Amino acid sequence: MKIAFIGLGNMGGGMAANLVKAGHEVHAFDLSEDALAKAAEHGCATYSAVPDAVAGVDAVVTMLPNGAIVKGVYTKDVIGKAPEGALFLDCSTIDLATAREVAGLSEAAGYQMVDAPVSGGIAAANGGTLTFMVGGSDAAFEKARTVLEPMAKAVIHAGAIGSGQVAKMCNNMLLAIHMIGTCEALALAEKAGLDPQKFYEISSKSTGYNWSLNDYTPAPGVGATSPADNGYQGGFASALMLKDLRLAMEGAQTAGASVPMGEHAKAIYEAFVEAGNGGKDFGAIFTTL
């Protein structure tokens, strides 16, 4: 397939490279010259304008920072510029209302679209082991699988358009909550005189089992290797976790859902990021305890 990939940041660069490895012809665009140079090294054809990148393609994949940028890119540079009938896949994490609005505008113009946000950090993007949560029609999902599978360990149809964004905001709210709880438990174990490694060995095989503890242990030198063992560099930035928590709180308000633990997690990450820690991995909350 000919696939335009718009947005080659920490996640998008690796994702585009995996599409090339799978044999697709990738037309890449980013505002960063460095990102374009890296994409070219991985076999992408690079473009200096979005309309040029999407001309003649079968599918357009976007991986962009927020809903306003997603809407602007699609309304100004993709809809009407990509061939009629092309498939659009927005892998950005954005608010539900914008995801549905952009899909509606795209479908009205004769395109199929899915929202397909991801779970997994930079290493998963580079390794082709992301989980995609896909919202869209059955027909659009089946087309999307061909594009997404080279970048994925799992591609799951969540439901109608927007369902991918709902799954992502709920998943990351849960992730923030159990990361904070894991950090508190590890800190308490150490302060109460228990070797944190022994606590890890016990809790990782007991009812305290969770991904943050078992696979992404936030205490340096304990349990699984994670950004904690590299000064909390790399991984999933706290600023991005805060962004996702804010989206979840907006979604909860719109849906009339009560999320007191989610609200508290947002407040904790808000204080952490405002203190200048936005670039650190979200497991660095451990350092505040």
Query: How far, in Å, CA of 90 to CA of 43, rounded?
Result: 22
Residue 27 DSSP SS3: strand
Helix %, strand %, coil % for the chain, to 5? 55, 15, 30
- Pick from 273, 252, 259, 186: which is nearest to 224 by CA? 186
∠ CA 208-212-218, nearest 5°, is 110
Helix residue ranges per DSSP H, the chain: 12-21, 33-41, 50-54, 67-73, 96-108, 122-127, 138-148, 163-191, 196-203, 211-214, 238-255, 260-272
Instruction: Answer for the pair 235, 225: CB distance below 8 angstroms, yes or no.
Output: no
Tokens linked to 124: 């998963």
Angle between helices 33-41 and 12-21 (to 10 degrees): 20
Query: How far, in Å, CA of 25 to CA of 91, rounded?
Result: 19
* Catalytically active residues, by annotation: 168
Helices and strands per DSSP (H, E), number in the chain = 12, 9
Instruction: Answer for the pair 114, 138: CB distance below 8 angstroms, yes or no.
Output: no
